[in-house]
A and B are shown apart, each in its own frame.
Chain A
Amino acid sequence: MDVEAKRIMALSISKLYSLRTQRGGLRLHRSLLLSMTMRAARDIYHTAQLLRDAEEEQVVPCAPDAATEEPMEISKDSSQTLTPKEVAMKPQESLEEDKENRCASERHSRKRRDKAALEPDFLPLKKAKMDTDEEKQHLQGEILRTNNGNSCRQVDTLTAFPTNRAIVAC
């Protein structure tokens, strides 16, 4: 179940990012649905991870070799453990004006200072992107017939994320 959840989570994130460059601007409805799905998948994934880690801690308390990879994941996970409020807030970030995320300026780091330690694994990292690509390729054989198997259009534009500035309706 958590494998499925992780896959859906990665898929959702890649779709959310591709939405930003789509012609016609951000589709609010679709990005909302993607965020919700991603959040649901992430919650299940993290819950499953925590349960599994708790079980393994009980069952194999002194097995250093077997747990070589586990501690890394555990520490990564615990650093990613978000409070319920942050869990609720996180997916909505992708809906906001995101110019700050793009540039690695001190303005960016200042804005994100509080959450720097809690950076979850689904923000753009090279490794995460490669995982997504791998998973996508793995899925090619399973998915139903589509146009070209590439559901995320890569469009090279400079379009920015639309803002939430309230524009008064005339």
Chain B
Amino acid sequence: MMAGVGGGNDFQWCFSQVKGAIDEDVAEADIISTVEFNYSGELLATGDKGGRVVIFQREQESKNRQVSRGEYNVYSTFQSHEPEFDYLKSLEIEEKINKIRWLPQQNAAHFLLSANDKTIKLWKISERDKRAEGYNLKDEDGRLRDPFRITTLRVPVLMPMDLMVEASPRRIFANAHTYHINSISVNSDYETYLSADDLRINLWHLEITDRSFNIVDIKPANMEELTEVITAAECHPHQCNVFVYSSSKGTIRLCDMRAAALCDRHSKFFEEPEDPSSRSFFSEIISSISDVKFSHSGRYMMTRDYLSVKVWDLNMENRPVETYQVHEYLRSKLCSLYENDCIFDKFECCWNGSDSAIMTGSYNNFFRMFDRNTRRDITLEASRENSKPRAMLKPRKVCTGGKRKKDEISVDSLDFNKKILHTAWHPKENVIAVAATNNLYIFQDKMN
């Protein structure tokens, strides 16, 4: 996957676009909190801390305009969630969008689920490019006509109009989560979806908003006995009865909804034995899983903890089949990262369409890609300095000790405020979206 080497799975990533303000002063509300391609990759949605959703649509590629090779432009922007106040608990509920998940497209409209800490909403995004003219009972400006003056009847005709994209909330799934929602996942039956908070997972039907089934509940009778929380959950891509959830202890449980109504007892339990030599004050924190994703094939799953990404074969529970170190040089800095709270950062991870490569973020606006076949990895940077159209990204390297070579950056020079927590890979092509604080970078493979 090294730049400059062609063939096979080697990618040559080039800058394509960057969205967002250039200002040094970043408004907190503009910080991107989730990124998600839809099933076809035609649409790319982002959610931010201000509760807004911005959807980009890929331009149709035309042979004449070779410059814009399928660029993403703003398609729709809407306010998904507003800040709320829970009067019972005297708590403010943040409007930050934690997750967006698309539904597969079944008609002309697009549907997505967006979730903040407490509420999930189903949004319909539809296009309107025609409007009816020639109503009988009202004027063109909408005023009602005097019925006594109507002497003839006419059939309204549909006239073209400027394209308008409307987003409307079709369902609101509320009041089902006591704790903060960390995941939503659409089931492969396209009828149900699950939502997970720190202690519970609920199963919803997309049409029913006033009730959900609680399928996992790890809340102890005595909260003083709490030792772990749910950190992420996902439905299997093909088996609608299977889902997984990860924990703060670094374990993953696979559950089969056919086994019991309440899936507290797992079908499979994935855990890697801890290396006692690497034990420290912060072992608990860095082993907490921040993201879990099934491969497209459904045979593997990937987990992200603070320092590494692990690929698990669903048929092998006692250890991952692959482990990739994201930024091992931070292991000696954990105390400092604890002080500045960076150790609690929740990085996500994603697969490419063919499951041959995985990607995850790091600090200093670096993001990492791992080729599962060649076992090669690359570090790239999302930066406006490399933002000339189609400019090839240069691999970056962090100097871990000794003499720093040219173009290397030392660990102590890394900017820990510039973190890439959210990345997404186009489901079919080598196009990636990388969220760097309030900016969204889109990169494409040169061969694309």
Using CB atoms and an 8 Å cutoff, list the residues of chain A in contact with chain B: 4-5, 8, 11, 15, 23-25, 27-30, 32-33, 36-37, 40-41, 44, 88-89, 92-93, 95-96, 139, 142-147, 149, 151, 157-160, 162-164, 166-167, 169-170
With beta carbons under 8 angstroms apart, the residue of A29, A146, A157 that contacts B248 is A29
Nearest Cβ on chain A to B85's Cβ, whole angstroms: 10
**Chain B 172-197, CB within 8 Å of chain A: the 1/0 string?**
00011111101000000000000000
Residue-by-residue, is B120-132 near A (CB-CB < 8 Å gives 1, otherwise 0)?
A: 0000000000000
Contact between B417 and A147 (Cβ–Cβ < 8 Å)? yes
Report if A93-B210 is in contact (Cβ < 8 Å); known contacts: A8-B335, A159-B92, A160-B90: no
Given A8-B281, A33-B284, A143-B336, do A169 and B248 touch, yes or no (CB 8 Å)? Answer: no
Q: Do A170 and B212 touch across chains, with their CB atoms under 8 A apart?
A: yes
Residues in A with CB closer than 8 Å to B223 are 92, 95-96, 164
Given A25-B93, A169-B214, A33 contacting B336 (CB threshold 8 A):
no
Return the contact of B93 from the options A5, A24, A96, A149 (Cβ within 8 A): A24
Q: Which 5 A-B pairs have the closest CB atoms?
A: A92-B224, A25-B91, A24-B94, A146-B340, A28-B198
In the complex, what distance in Å separates the CA atom of A40 from the CA atom of B283? 10
Nearest chain A CB to B194's CB is how many angstroms away? Answer: 13
Residue contact A170 to B248, C-beta cutoff 8 Å: no
Q: A92-B224, A170-B210 given as contacts; is B180 within 8 A of A28 (CB)?
A: yes
Interchain CB contact under 8 A, A169 and B91: no
In the complex, how many angstroms separate the beta carbon of A30 from the nearest chain B beta carbon? Answer: 6
Choice from A5, A24, A28, A93 contacting B224 with Cβ under 8 Å: A93
Please report the total number of B residues contacting A with Cβ < 8 Å: 55
* Contacts A/B (CB < 8 Å), 19 sampled: A8-B338, A11-B338, A25-B89, A28-B198, A37-B284, A37-B285, A37-B338, A93-B224, A95-B224, A143-B339, A143-B340, A144-B336, A144-B337, A147-B340, A159-B91, A160-B89, A160-B90, A169-B178, A169-B214
Q: Are A170 and B175 in contact (CB under 8 A)?
A: yes
Residue of B180, B214, B226, B281 near A24 (CB, 8 A) is B180
Q: A27, A36, A147: which contacts B180 (Cβ < 8 A)?
A: A27
Whether A139 contacts B90 in the complex (CB less than 8 A), given A169-B214, A170-B176, comes out as no
Please state if A169 and B179 are interface contacts (CB–CB under 8 Å). Answer: no
Query: Are B231 and A24 within 8 A (Cβ)?
Result: no
Measured CB to CB, the nearest residue on chain B to A27 is B180
Q: In the complex, what residues of B have CB within 8 A of residue A23's CB?
A: 92, 94
Q: Tell me the smallest distance from the CB of B231 to a CB of chain A, in Å.
A: 7
